[in-house]
Amino acid sequence: MKLNILLPWICVLGLSAGLAAVFVSSSAKDTELAKLRADAAQSQQRQTELDEIQAQSQKQAEQIVELRKDNQELLRLRSDVGQLRNEKQRLANQVLNAQSDAEKAHNAAAQAMKSSMEKAMQVTALQGDLKLVEQGQQLRNTCLNNLRQIDAAKQQWALANSKTSDATPTVQEIAPYLPGNALPVCPAGGTYTLNAMNKLPTCSIPGHALQ
């Protein structure tokens, strides 16, 4: 008789214990699933950050290549300067020879002097043109370096603020990433335009443009 009374309670207790075990197992699985999802999200975020860093590294490598091209152009101009200086020295020697010949014959000296003066004027004109070319190249190189600094500041701003490629920063937003916390000034008097992230910054001076 007692067994008949206790048997249903024993069944109820066994069923309750089974349900409790199922609930605990289900809660553990839910916790593990949530952890796996969090790990996957963190892994995806790290991959995104790595991709952005790789893109920035590629951009810096391209800037280095461009700077090397500019340096090669500057070396070529310096070589041209050396050749012009040699030409100037050669012409100066001709002037001295002409003056020496002038002492032997007045008429020949006058003609030689005229020719020498014309050549000297040509050298002076060439020197003036060369100085203008050097100054223009120096101004352009300084402006290009300014544009590279602006572009690098844009990239840092976009990375720090998770901006998309079509976002356009303001001068105030990228200023903290620039030397002196201020937008550089074009030495030739040009005006800089920041543009969106998917475009390079530009200068209003023709020829002052990043490639």
Tell me how many degrees the CA angle 124-132-67 measures, rounded to the nearest 5. Answer: 135
Closest CA to 186 of 166, 211, 198, 203: 203
Mean pLDDT score, 169-198: 96
CB 174 within 8 A of CB 153: yes
Residue 13 lies in a domain: no
Of the CA atoms within 13 Å of residue 198, those in its CB half-sphere come to 4
Q: How many domains does the chain have?
A: 1
Q: Is residue 195 situated within a structural domain?
A: yes
Of the pLDDT bands very low, low, confident and very high (cuts 50, 70, 90), residue 35 is confident
> Is the pLDDT assigned to residue 12 strictly greater than 70?
yes
| 3-state SS string for 125-183 | HHHHHHHHHHHHHHHHHHHHHHHHHHHHHHHHHHHHHCCCCCCCCCHHHHHHHCHHHCC
The pLDDT confidence band at residue 3, using thresholds 50, 70 and 90, is: low
Which residues constitute the domain of residue 96?
Answer: 28-203
Does 118 reside within a domain?
Answer: yes
- What is the distance between the alpha carbons of residues 36 and 23, in angstroms, rounded to a whole number? 20
Structural domain contains residue 3 = no
* Nearest alpha carbon to residue 197 among 44, 50, 59: 59
Average pLDDT over residues 47-66: 84
**CA 78 vs CA 64, 75, 120, 123: distances in Å:** 21, 5, 21, 17
Please say whether the beta carbons of 182 and 175 come within 8 A: yes
pLDDT at 28 over 60: yes
Query: Does residue 85 lie within any of the structural domains?
Result: yes
Residue 77: how many other CB atoms lie within 10 Å: 15
pLDDT at 95: 65
- Residue 14 included in any domain: no
Q: What's the predicted TM-score (pTM) here?
A: 0.42
Q: Check pLDDT > 90 for residue 193.
A: yes
Is the distance from CB of 152 to CB of 140 less than 8 angstroms? Answer: no
Q: Is residue 21 part of a domain?
A: no
Residue 208 has pLDDT above 90, yes or no: yes
Task: Tell me the backbone φ, ψ of residue 193, rounded to 5 degrees.
Answer: -120, 125
Q: Would residue 5 count as lying in a domain? A: no
